[in-house]
Structures are given as C-alpha cells and as structure tokens.
Amino acid sequence: MTGGGHRAPRINRLSELLPGTWLLKSRVDVTAAGERYPDPPLGEDPVALLVYEKSGHFSVQFMKRDRSAVPLAVSAGGTPVTRTLTWTREGKSG
C-alpha cells in the first residue's frame, strides 16, 4: 500500500497477458532513413514461433522460410534497423 491507504496499480507482466504459442504474421525491418532492409540471414518473410509461459519463461525461434538458399556464412553488415513484428496466437486470428 502507498501512503493514504491507496493501493498502487498492479502492472501485468507480459507473460500474464500473452500466455500461449504465437506464430509470426509479418516482419518489417527499416533503416533509420525509413528504407526497407531485408535481414540477410532471415529474408523478408521468416518463419517464427514465440511461446510465453505464465511463469515468465519464454522461447522464440526464427528461421528463413526457404532455408535452402542460405549461404554457409552470412554477414549482417552492421546496418542499424528497426523491426516491426506482428504475431498471431496459434489457433486464433487478429
């Protein structure tokens, strides 16, 4: 409790709000100049799975959709990007 008998608002942890298995719907990488920048190892349309447990543990895996085209050694090049990810919960849309 805080002073005056009021309770501090409860802040939900992400794991409490998003438990379950999520599949990546879309991903967009953008440079500081606003230009699209496909991630060299993953491409523009990667496959990804995110699992959140209510306990706070999580796991996430990304892979290139067409893995046969990935060279043995890929350099990321050091270009800073901003990533926008859109997820959908497995078995649900939205």
Do residues 43 and 62 make contact, with C-beta atoms less than 8 angstroms apart?
no
3: in domain: no
Do residues 89 and 20 make contact, with C-beta atoms less than 8 angstroms apart?
yes
Does residue 1 surpass a pLDDT of 50?
no
49: in domain: yes
60: in domain: yes
| pLDDT at residue number 91 | 62
Helices (H) and strands (E) in the chain, counts: 1, 4
5: in domain: no
Average pLDDT in the 2-24 region?
76
Range of the domain at 20: 11-68+78-88
Average pLDDT, the chain: 75
Average pLDDT in the 20-49 region?
88
Q: If pLDDT is split at 50, 70 and 90, which confidence band does 45 have?
A: confident
64: in domain: yes
94: in domain: no
63: in domain: yes
46: in domain: yes
Q: If pLDDT is split at 50, 70 and 90, which confidence band does 39 have?
A: confident
Quote the number of domains for the chain: 1
Does residue 70 surpass a pLDDT of 50?
no
The sign one gets for the Cα dihedral 32, 33, 35, 40 is: negative
